[in-house]
Structure 1
């Protein structure tokens, strides 16, 4: 009896020792089987705080090996928007990510928070270090977009677009040049896999013009009509129904003395409030489309009518879909966004 028990115990120990050898190769294969999403982030950083939060989410996803942020292009024509993006990228340890800015854009208005990111100092040092001091010194967004796309494999790039559509419409209109012999539309068709945008209304507020669409109406119509790859749209109603919890703003960013998301959020509005996660939902879908966070409409085509309203016509051959969300998915998305947005950088910056 005793010998039999010892034999069984030794067998169990041997099996336990073998399990890591058997499992780890499969785990390693699973972890490396999926390449990081090659991501471009086109944003009106400065108009609302969710752009800064979405950029933080991207950095968390990159730290997890799920995406590679290739470039940030700014569609807000304010000289501090580009530097604010550079400051956030630098905070997360990625100061070399290219930043391009719109020239002669539609919204030069000052932001409530970009100045606090770019102009605040601790003594004689920048609180949030950045080398891009003015958008006037940054390359034009179309140039950055073309250079970034040319350098990537065919059909590999995902673009998360969370502002008005000036930069991407200009990309479509761009002619062949020294960067590429392809015009913009052909370059997009060759290099882009998916466009994930925050735009329009497909819920109860569908009879209300949506901010991103109406700021540059001509560009919105151009993009929705001519973009040659699949497009997934996160409508106004998605982010509105998934709000970032104030408790997280208060408690989850305290691992450093000064955090750009926390301070930007408070600069936006110091009163306790839960901002809609409009831009964050487009980023989350862009990088994790297969996690079941959202439903998808049937395919169709989205257009902008003469009332500035976003319409959707179902068509099996259409390239457009829009996100849907259930109460259960709202809970999952909210939790995921809290974890990602508040995730610390790989290396905490000195402060």
Structure 2
């Protein structure tokens, strides 16, 4: 019997850490996923949208990609690595879709209440704005799958500390949420052998290899933790993970995050089968290669 279709919108700050691009490729390589669209957030969201469009096109696919909020809710300074989009000299030729991300999110979720998942792997500005604009968004979304936070200590994590005001709105919304923090994602690594396998997946694989190596140079390492693809797999292959009971996540003014069981609809990832997760990420990225391509 075929797996049921998982309807997804991908909300991302693609272009800085390579894990966003890898997560997009995992979604493209997952036959059970009906990827409705992609929204970008944080900083130069037009550039981020163009990069997403290019990677999708390299997979011989098409996808609605809508730029979203460039600024945080309180106009906090935006962190920018500086290498975003640099591997594509003609990226400004990519045409993104008209509209704005918040309207797109609200329209897609309200059109099919209880059916659309949102995978949010950047600062939560777009999601918070959607909840503010539409009082029913939190009720209508099927599930939010969030990469963010750290639940084994009080150290703030990038996605939540970039816009803690937005994170607080999202986690206080009552929406069903699964959040995967750094204490889980950092248990998984991709290394040179994984990158070699990814590079064999046609033009998309070659582009991802270059993006990975760019991030490694920036990070001064020869491995990376695929935070965002791991979050995608909590949705698609939950048997590779363990989760807490439902409870509440509180966000500090510095973006720190704490979890308390009970009284809410949020659960956190508590463990991952690290080796199997890494292999599944690579397998699905390779499966995203264009159908016309063969090794």
Give your verdict on TM over 0.5.
yes
Question: Is 1:141 the counterpart of 2:109 in the alignment?
Answer: no
Partner residue in 1 for 2:274 = 330
1:194-219 deviation line (CA, Å, top 9, x unaligned) = 1110111112xx22111111101111
- Please point out which of 41, 51, 56 is paired with 1:75: 41
Corresponding position of 1:187: 137
Q: What is the root-mean-square deviation in Å for CA atoms of aligned residues?
A: 2.4
The equivalent residue for 2:58 is: 91
Q: SS of 1:114's equivalent?
A: coil
What SS does the aligned partner of 2:199 have? Answer: coil
**Equivalent in 124, 127, 134 of residue 168 of structure 1:** 127
C-alpha distance in structure 1 between counterparts of 2:185 and 2:240, whole Å: 13
Once the two structures are superposed, what CA deviation does each residue of 1:92-140 show, in whole Å capped at 9, x if it has no partner? 2222x211112442437364242313x25xxxxx7x98433xxxx7521
Q: Give 1:151 deviation, angstroms.
A: 3.2
Q: Unpaired runs of 5+ in structure 2? A: 73-77
Runs of 4+ more than 6 Å apart: none
Per the normalisation by structure 2, the TM-score is 0.88
Rate the CA distance shift 1:114–1:186 in 2: closer, same or farther, 3 A: same
Q: Determine whether 1:303 maps to 2:253.
A: no
After the TM superposition, which of the residue ranges 292-301 and 143-152 deviates more from structure 2?
143-152
Match in the other structure for 2:75: none
Q: In 2, distance between residues paired with 1:86 and 1:103?
A: 17
Is it true that 1:242 corresponds to 2:188 in the alignment? yes
Query: 1: CA distance between counterparts of 2:69 and 2:124?
Result: 13
Deviation at 1:255, TM superposition (A): 4.4
* TM-score calculated relative to the size of structure 1: 0.75
Higher Cα radius of gyration: 1
Return closer, same or farther for 1:155/1:269 CA change in 2, 3 Å cut-off.
same
What is the distance in 2 between the residues matched to 1:48 and 1:307?
A: 21
Contact 2:123 2:163 in 1 (8 A): yes
Quick check: 2:164–2:254 contact (8 Å CA) kept in 1? no
Cα deviation, residue 257, structure 1 = 5.7
**Cα distance in 2, alignment partners of residues 85 and 277 from structure 1:** 17
Q: 1:199 to 1:344 in 2, by over 3 A?
A: closer
Q: Secondary structure at the match of 1:90?
A: helix
Q: Is the 8 A contact 1:113 1:264 kept in 2?
A: no
Give 1:205-284 correspondences, 5 Å limit. 206-226=153-173, 228-256=174-202, 259-270=206-217, 273-284=222-233
Which of residues 86, 89, 94 in structure 2 aligns to 1:115? 86
Higher RCO, 1 or 2 (CA under 8 Å, sep at least 6)? 2
Within 5 Å, give how 1:280-291 maps onto structure 2. Answer: 280-289=229-238
Identify the residue that residue 12 of structure 1 maps to in structure 2.
none
Contact 1:70/1:98 (<8 A) preserved = yes
Q: Deviations over 1:255-309 (max 9, x none)?
A: 43672211211222346611111111111112233xx110001211001124532
Distance in 1 between residues matched to 2:215 and 2:121, nearest whole Å: 18
Are the counterparts in 1 of residues 59 and 203 from structure 2 also a CA contact under 8 Å?
A: no
